């Protein structure tokens, strides 16, 4: 048996020595764990900069003006909702979005068009657009039960009852159309331009949202206009960094800011935070490949420095974490809109003329809506605009200001940024329409399944609104998922 000398000459067996060595190793490991759990993720207790670097995006607790925790949203989104959305939004119905990118800015002369090649929107081929979206509805009849059972369209014809009075003039018809359009517009929170001359289909998969290099005075003017020109009269607060936040968090928590104003501010701030996260997560790192040649597609990836610049307490006057929380707030508002309109959305055909994929989309949408409805802590929109006659004025002001923001999107100098800005604002506006138009209210739940039919004009959403609603929610969902990835990188 081999031996070793102890300090006092005692003979120690190799077994005892090995046990002593394992004790020392375990003790050192325990100290390491204690240091890890008490001082944070790979920084020393005295290293305040490293601590702030991680903590500013590690959100906890209740989301303002909601009864939901950040952890609940993270779990539901990252585990249940985000994977479903990611597979759904690549389908033809949701990937082709009709929009007018040629409209002139209504507020100032737009002389600052982005000249970078990545600002350009890639046009989709005509042959790739689904036939049902181009007006070819010949295959649509397969969906109609009436057509499947009808054998002779004239066999039940009553000439007297079927008589159509065509004496109404074309001028009167045009006036009726104007009245109908006006009535519908009263429920809208944003501009819809898919029916205008110049509107074209864009393949969103060919034009992902990412940082294109669009920056400078033109980009700053967009956000400063959104924030400063859409303040409510009672709170025209001016900031050192005016396009970064409408109202400082400290002022937001004061009682003089009413719920409706807080909701408006937090939704716009949440949208801004979401867009910033997309730009940081999909950043143009280089126009050259690893071999040094100019790349036709560019090199894209996460930019940690840019993420810190946009959200860290040092660069945002300690507001960055609150902006990130507003992302969760905007997410919950749109999540609630989808849940509220779920009976209507289940009855949509999601028609593109490609029968197999259309069936798959309908199944996937119903599955997603089931998950959304099971969310335990939905935003409660019923507490808003409930103050009698004064609330009507606040609601109209709320709607007009959001409508104005949708017009500002036509002033964005980068075409690709304009595309995604218009889509996300329209999606958020559609969510507000669902929540506050009164046409989707829960007091109709007893007969909701039969009332909320896509062919019922009272509750009709245009295809562009549905596409924008799902894609805008998908952008917020992606931001929350990417925020967790940024946390992992910082650890």
What is the domain range of residue 390?
Answer: 70-124+192-287+298-440+460-490
d(CA 152, CA 149): 9
Q: Is 39 annotated as ligand-binding? A: no
Three-state SS string across the chain, please?
CCEEECCCCCEEEHHHHHHHHHHHHHHHHHHHHHHHHHHCCCCCCCCHHHHHHHHCCCCCCECCCCCCEHHHHHHHHHHHHHHHHHHHCCCHHHHEEEECCCCCCCCCCCCCCCCCHHHCCCCCCHHHCCHHHCCCCHHHHHHCHHHHHCCCCCCCCCCCCCCCCCCCCHHHHHHHHHHHHHHHHCCCCCCCCCCCCCCEEEECCCCCCCCCCCCCHHHHHHHHHHHHCCCCHHHCCCCCCCCCCCCCHHHHCCCCCCHHHHHHHHHHHHHHHHHHHHHHHCEEEEEECCCCCEEEEEEEECCHHHHHHHHCHHHHCCCHHHHHHHHHHHHHHHHHHHHHCHHHHHCCCCCCCCHHHHHHHHHHHHHHHHHHHCCCCCCCHHHCCCCCHHHHHHHHHHHHHHHHHHHHHHHCCCHHHHHHHHHHHHHHHHHHHHHHCCCCCHHHHHHHHHHCCCCCHHHCCCHHHHHHHHHHHHHHHHHHHHHHHHHHHHC
d(CA 59, CA 324): 8
CB within 8 A of 187, min separation 6: which ones? 433, 437, 439
Residue 25 inside a domain? The answer is: no
**Exposure on the CB side of residue 255, measured as CA atoms within 13 A:** 0
Q: Which structure tokens are listed for 326?
A: 């507003």
Bridge partner list, 3: 13
Residue 79 inside a domain? The answer is: yes
Return the pLDDT at 126.
Answer: 86
Number of domains in the chain: 1
d(CA 40, CA 286): 33
Return the pLDDT at 178.
Answer: 57
Q: Is 179 annotated as ligand-binding? A: no
Residue 184 inside a domain? The answer is: no
Q: Is 399 annotated as ligand-binding? A: no
Return averaged pLDDT per consecutive 10 residues of the chain, 491 residues in all: 41 50 50 34 38 69 89 96 98 96 85 74 88 63 43 53 61 58 67 88 94 83 86 51 52 68 92 95 80 73 93 90 94 97 94 95 98 94 83 89 93 93 96 90 48 50 95 98 92 77
Tell me the pTM: 0.78
Bridge partner list, 286: 299
Q: First and final CA of the chain: distance in angstroms? A: 48
Bridge partner list, 251: none
Q: Is 11 annotated as ligand-binding? A: no
Q: Give me the sign of the Cα torsion angle 401, 403, 408, 414.
A: positive
Residue 309 inside a domain? The answer is: yes
Residue 54 inside a domain? The answer is: no
Residue 43 inside a domain? The answer is: no
d(CA 325, CA 189): 23
Choose among 63, 60, 84: nearest CA to 487.
60
> Has 417 been annotated as catalytic?
yes
Strands 294-301, 283-288: pairing is antiparallel
Residue 234 inside a domain? The answer is: yes
Q: Give, in degrees to the nearest 5, the angle at Cα 106 between 102 and 112.
A: 65
Catalytic-role residue among 66, 119, 231, 414: 414
Residues in the chain, overall count? 491
Q: Is 315 annotated as ligand-binding? A: no
Q: Give me the sign of the Cα torsion angle 403, 379, 82, 227.
A: positive
d(CA 336, CA 352): 27
Return the pLDDT at 437.
Answer: 86
Q: Is 239 annotated as ligand-binding? A: no
Catalytic-role residue among 190, 280, 411, 417: 417
Residue 40 inside a domain? The answer is: no
């Amino acid at each position: 048996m081999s031996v070793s000398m102890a300090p006092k000459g005692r003979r120690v067996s190799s077994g005892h020595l090995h046990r002593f060595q394992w004790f020392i190793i375990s003790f050192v490991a325990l100290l390491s764990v204690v240091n890890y759990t008490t001082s944070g993720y790979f920084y020393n207790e005295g290293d305040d900069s490293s601590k702030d670097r991680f903590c500013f995006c590690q959100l906890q607790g209740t989301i303002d003006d909601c009864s939901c925790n950040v952890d609940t949203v993270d779990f539901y989104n990252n585990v249940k909702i985000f994977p479903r959305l990611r597979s759904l939004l690549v389908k033809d119905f949701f990937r082709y979005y009709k929009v007018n990118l040629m409209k002139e800015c209504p507020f100032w002369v737009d002389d600052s068009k982005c000249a970078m090649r990545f600002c350009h929107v890639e046009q989709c081929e005509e042959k790739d657009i689904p036939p049902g979206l181009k007006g070819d509805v010949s295959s649509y009849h397969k969906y109609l039960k009436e057509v499947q059972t009808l054998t002779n369209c004239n066999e039940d014809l009553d000439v007297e009852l079927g008589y159509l009075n065509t004496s109404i003039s074309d001028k009167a018809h045009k006036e009726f159309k104007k009245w109908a359009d006006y009535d519908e517009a009263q429920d809208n929170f944003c501009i819809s331009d898919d029916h205008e001359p110049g509107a074209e289909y864009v393949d969103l998969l060919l034009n992902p949202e990412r940082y294109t290099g669009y920056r400078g005075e033109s980009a700053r003017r967009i956000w400063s206009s959104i924030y400063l020109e859409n303040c409510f009269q009672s709170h025209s607060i001016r900031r050192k960094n005016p396009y970064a936040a409408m109202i400082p968090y400290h002022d937001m928590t004061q009682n003089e800011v009413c719920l409706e104003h807080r909701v408006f501010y937090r939704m716009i701030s949440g949208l801004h935070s979401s867009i910033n996260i997309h730009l940081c997560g999909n950043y143009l790192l280089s126009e050259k490949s690893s071999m040094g040649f100019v790349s036709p597609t560019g090199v894209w990836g996460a930019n940690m420095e840019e993420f810190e610049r946009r959200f860290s307490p040092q660069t945002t006057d300690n507001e960055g974490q609150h902006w990130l929380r507003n992302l969760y707030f905007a997410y919950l508002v749109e999540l609630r809109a989808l849940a509220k309109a779920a009976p209507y959305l289940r009855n949509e055909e999601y028609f593109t003329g490609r029968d197999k994929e259309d069936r798959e989309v309908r199944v996937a949408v119903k599955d997603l809506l089931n998950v959304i409805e099971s969310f335990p802590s939905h935003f409660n929109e019923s507490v808003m605009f409930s103050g009698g006659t004064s609330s009507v004025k606040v609601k109209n002001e709320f709607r007009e200001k959001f409508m104005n923001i949708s017009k500002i999107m036509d002033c964005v100098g980068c075409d690709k940024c304009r595309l995604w800005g218009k889509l996300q604002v329209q999606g958020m506006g559609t969510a507000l329409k669902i929540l506050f138009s009164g046409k989707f209210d829960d007091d109709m739940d007893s007969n909701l399944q039969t009332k909320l039919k896509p062919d019922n004009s009272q509750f009709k959403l245009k295809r562009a609104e549905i596409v924008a609603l799902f894609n805008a929610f998908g952008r917020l969902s992606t931001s929350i998922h990417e925020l967790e990835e940024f946390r992992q990188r910082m650890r």
